[in-house]
Amino acid sequence: MKRRSWGLVFRNAAEGVVYGLRTQRNVRVHTGAAFLMCAAGVFFGISKMEWLFVLTAIFLVLVTELMNTAVEAAVDLAEPNIHPLAKAAKDTAAGAVLLAAVFAVIVGCIVFAKPVLRWLGLS
């Protein structure tokens, strides 16, 4: 078996990210939210430790969204009809995205609560 070059490996991975952005509304929504959170982090001058948590949450959501997209595509290819196991696979992958998104919201609340309240003059 011929090994693929590193350049081809990275190009294929980038094509996967682009596919997710082009075809999946939720990937675009979460990417938009990620940009807003990064802008908020810059605006409020969050610490390095806070950046680590925010970026971890952002990438966790985006990674799970892309994995969900991969699971859905593979399941649809293998079983185009509605099947209980196909539904379970898709629902479980979507559940992983939900948990990642809840984690991201919790991180956002912890990191941004004080700066936002201070900015609003409520603290």
Residues ≥6 apart with Cβ < 8 Å to 69: 19, 20, 23, 24, 27
Catalytic position from the list 15, 50, 65, 79: 65
* Burial bucket for residue 41 (CB in 10 Å: 0-12, 13-18, 19+): buried
Question: Is 72 known to be catalytic?
Answer: no
Q: Point out the residues that are catalytic.
A: 65
